[in-house]
C-alpha cells in the first residue's frame, strides 16, 4: 500500500470515529470561538487556494484546492505526485492518476464531511466535539463525525485576526498525523461544477 493511499485511508477512517461526549464545560470564550468558527465556515460558499500537505513520514505535497459548499471539494496535487481527490457531494474519491485507479468512500465518513456540511453546527448530533483550544492568535477545534467507534480525530485550526480557517489535522488510530495547510485563499469565486465530478471512461482515462 502506497503512502498516499495510507494517507487517504487515514483521512477516511479517522473521521469515522465517535469521540466521547465532552466531559468538560466550555468557557464563554470557547463557546464564542465555536460560534465564530461555525459562522466563518458557513459563510464560505466557494473557495480556491493553494495547500501544503505534510504526511506522517515527514514527506510533503503541494497543490490547488477548490471548495464549493455544501458537499464539493477538489484537491489537485502538483506533479509529480500521482494523486487527485474529489468530493462530488456523495463520495470522497481518491484517484491514483498513475495507476488509473479510483477508490470511493461516503463523504459522511470523512473529515470533509464536517468541512463541507451545509449549515455546520458543532451542536449537531452528527458531529462530536472533542475540545476547543485558544492559543496566541489561534483557535483549534477538535471534532469528528459521530459514527462507529474508532480511534482518530480531526482538528480545525483558525487564525484569530482575521478569523479564518488555516489548517486541518487528522490523527489516525496509530497516532499518525496528516496536516493540510491552506494559503493564498480566495473566497466567493466562480467555479466550474465539472471540477467536482470524476468519471472514468472505458479506456480508463478521466473525463
pLDDT digit string, tens, across residues 150-178: 545 789 999 998 999 999 998 876 778 99
pTM passes above 0.85: no
What share of residues in the chain are helix, strand, coil (percent, to 5)?
20, 45, 40
Cβ neighbours, 10 Å, residue 66: 20
The DSSP call for residue 116 is: T
Identify whether 178 is part of a domain.
Answer: yes
Q: How many CB atoms are closer than 10 A to CB 151? A: 13
Query: Which residue has cell 502506497?
Result: 2
Report if residue 189 sits inside a domain. Answer: yes
Q: Which domain holds residue 10?
A: 3-196
Residue 203 lies in a domain: no
Answer yes or no: is 202 within a domain. Answer: no
Asked whether residue 201 is domain-assigned, the answer is no
CATH code, domain with 145: 2.50.20.10
Tell me the per-residue pLDDT of 59-90, one tens digit each, with 9 for 90 and over: 999 999 999 999 999 999 999 999 999 999 99
Contact between 141 and 155 under an 8 Å Cβ cutoff? The reply is: yes
Confidence of residue 2 (pLDDT cuts 50, 70, 90): low
Burial classification of residue 64, based on how many CB atoms lie within 10 Å of its CB (0-12 exposed, 13-18 middle, 19 or more buried): middle
Lowest mean pLDDT among 9-23, 51-65, 138-152, 186-200: 9-23
Q: Which residues contact 147 (CB under 8 A, 6 or more apart)?
A: 15, 16, 17, 18, 108, 109
Task: Report pLDDT for 15.
Answer: 41
- Per-residue confidence band for 16, with pLDDT thresholds at 50, 70 and 90: very low
The pLDDT, as a whole number, for residue 82 is 94
Task: Please state the domain count of the chain.
Answer: 1
Residue 205 lies in a domain: no
pLDDT tens for each residue of 133-151: 999 999 999 987 776 435 4
As to burial, measured by CB atoms within 10 angstroms (0-12 exposed, 13-18 middle, 19+ buried), residue 145 is: buried
Amino acid at each position: 500500500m502506497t503512502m498516499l493511499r495510507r494517507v487517504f485511508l487515514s483521512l477516511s477512517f479517522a473521521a469515522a470515529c465517535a469521540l466521547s461526549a465532552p466531559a468538560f464545560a466550555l468557557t464563554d470564550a470557547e463557546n464564542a470561538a465555536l460560534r465564530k468558527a461555525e459562522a466563518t465556515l458557513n459563510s464560505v460558499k466557494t473557495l480556491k487556494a493553494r495547500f501544503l500537505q505534510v504526511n506522517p513520514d515527514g514527506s510533503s505535497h503541494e497543490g490547488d484546492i477548490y471548495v464549493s459548499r455544501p458537499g464539493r471539494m477538489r484537491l489537485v496535487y502538483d506533479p509529480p505526485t500521482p494523486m487527485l481527490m474529489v468530493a462530488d457531494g456523495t463520495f470522497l474519491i481518491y484517484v491514483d492518476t498513475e495507476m488509473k485507479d479510483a477508490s470511493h468512500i461516503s463523504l459522511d465518513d470523512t473529515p470533509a464531511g464536517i468541512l463541507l456540511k451545509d449549515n455546520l453546527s458543532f451542536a449537531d448530533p452528527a458531529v462530536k466535539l472533542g475540545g476547543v483550544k485558544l492559543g496566541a492568535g489561534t483557535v483549534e477545534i477538535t471534532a469528528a463525525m459521530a459514527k462507529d467507534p474508532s480511534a482518530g480525530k480531526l482538528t480545525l485550526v483558525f487564525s484569530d485576526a482575521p478569523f479564518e480557517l488555516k489548517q486541518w489535522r487528522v490523527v489516525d488510530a496509530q497516532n499518525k498525523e496528516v496536516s493540510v495547510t491552506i494559503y493564498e485563499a480566495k473566497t466567493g469565486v466562480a467555479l466550474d461544477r465539472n471540477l467536482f465530478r470524476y468519471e472514468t471512461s472505458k479506456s480508463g482515462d478521466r473525463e
